[in-house]
A = this chain, B = another copy of it.
Amino acid sequence: MAETRVSQVTRETLLDWYRRMVFVRRFEEQAERSFRRGKIGGYLHLYSGQEAVATGFVAAMRQDDILFTGYRDHVHALLRGTDARAVMAELYGKMTGVCKGKGGSMHVIDVSRGFYGGYGIVAGHIPLAVGAAYALRTEGKDRVCLCFLGDGAMNNGAFHEAANLAGLWGHDGLAPVVFIVENNQYGMGTSVPRASAVTNLASRFAAYAIPNEGCDGMDPVAVFEVARRVIEDVRRTGRPYAVEALTYRFAAHGAADLFQPYRSKLEIEERRQRDPILLLEQRLRAEGVLDDARGQEISAWADRQVEEAVAFADSSPEPPREELFTDIYDAASDRGAGPR
């Protein structure tokens, strides 16, 4: 393992991942504070605990690849390089947000970075990703589409129909899509065994002729190794592939949930022993790549980024009232006369 890692992921890269993971964690923590202060409304779903999954997969993506996910979406955007200020401004509902404040936390979308969002209906984005993958293939290029989904989403019909289409189209090399099941053990308050007749979620993809495997979703390196291999395979073949990343959500399902009767404090504490950021930090310290000074430096840098994002969001203007009626239909097609 040590060898492979060293051979494939340099210490610099690891340190860079650590930096990103610390940053996105701080971003989420700040978002929660802003939510408590009433600066952010609606629903707010935090990614804390699952960082290794998106970090490993996004690191294995090519610049021109694309991705879709659900409503737990801030971090996917940040890791793809979307300006943290534009993401925070979106959560604040400001005109400077990535979606002009019209989407909010559940609909962070940044097409310029291949991030197609950001959807609030569980499993509703999965068919979109399969169709997007088909479209990518018809370009004649070898771009790949990543589709992140939750363990709970797999019990929805949209998942089934989309997975079957991916399997079918994959037989013709027309479905370059990677399904990444972020199995954080719960769908809101319902644990996997209480929602899914079969608890080995990766194995369910066999019903669609989609090759699949599991991985440790708390270790970005483990995730990356699988991600790179799988993505390149999908890129080459145009066939779908599925990865179940075992991970855990430290925060409540949504920031509005004050108590969590479905799991014990003890369980959460135990899981925090494998906090992906903690594990990576221990490894980096062991390898002498990270010391207290470097750690404080990174921590301070992350906080600065987040503060700037908040300051920017706070001071940004609300969308002007005209925005209420824009972006419903294509501006080029006047509503009265219809699309041209």
The residue of chain B having its C-beta at the shortest distance from the C-beta of A161 within the complex is B157
The chain B residue sitting closest to A208, CB to CB, is B197
| Those of A200-234 within 8 Å (CB) of chain B | 203-204, 206-210
CB < 8 Å neighbour of A168 from B160, B197, B203, B204: B197
Residues on B with beta carbons closer than 8 Å to the beta carbon of A159 = 160
Cα of A198 to Cα of B167 in the assembled complex, Å: 8
| Total contacting residues, chain A, CB less than 8 A | 26
A13 interface residue per 8 A CB criterion: no
Neighbouring B residues of A168 by C-beta, 8 Å: 194-197
A290 at the interface (CB under 8 A from B): no
A117 to B65 Cα, complex, angstroms: 48
A164 contacts B by Cβ under 8 Å: yes
A112 contacts across to B, CB distance below 8 A:
none
Copies in the complex: 2
Closest to A196 in B: B164
Residue in B156, B194, B198 whose beta carbon sits within 8 Å of that of A161 in the complex: B156
Indicate if A170 sits at the interface (CB-CB under 8 A). Answer: yes
CB neighbours of A166 from chain B (8 A) = 197
Q: Is A39 an interface residue (CB 8 A)?
A: no
> Measured between alpha carbons, how far is A167 from B208 in the docked complex, in Å?
18
Are the C-beta atoms of B197 and A167 separated by less than 8 Å?
yes
A155 at interface, CB cutoff 8 A: yes
- Is the C-beta of A158 less than 8 angstroms from some C-beta in chain B? yes
Q: A170 to B157, Cβ gap below 8 A?
A: no
Does A171 belong to the interface (CB within 8 Å)? yes
Return the chain B residue nearest A171 by Cβ.
B197
For the complex, give the distance between the alpha carbons of A164 and B192 in Å: 12
Complex: chain B residue closest to A198, CB-CB? B209
Kindly identify which residue among B155, B157, B163, B170 contacts A158, using a CB–CB cutoff of 8 Å: B157
User: What residue of chain B has the Cβ atom nearest to residue A201's Cβ?
Assistant: B207
Closest chain B CB from A218 CB (angstroms):
26
A/B interface sample: 30 pairs, CB < 8 A: A155-B160, A155-B161, A155-B164, A156-B157, A156-B160, A156-B161, A157-B157, A157-B160, A159-B160, A160-B160, A163-B197, A164-B196, A166-B197, A167-B197, A168-B194, A168-B196, A168-B197, A171-B197, A197-B207, A197-B208, A197-B209, A197-B210, A198-B206, A198-B207, A198-B208, A198-B209, A203-B206, A203-B207, A206-B207, A207-B207
Given A155-B160, A207-B207: 13 more A-B contacts, CB < 8 Å: A156-B157, A157-B158, A159-B160, A160-B161, A164-B197, A168-B194, A168-B197, A170-B197, A197-B208, A197-B210, A198-B207, A198-B209, A204-B207
B-contacting residues of A (Cβ < 8 Å)? 155-161, 163-164, 166-168, 170-171, 194-198, 203-204, 206-210
The 7 lowest CB-CB distance pairs between A and B, nearest first, are A157-B157, A167-B197, A160-B160, A207-B207, A204-B207, A197-B209, A197-B208
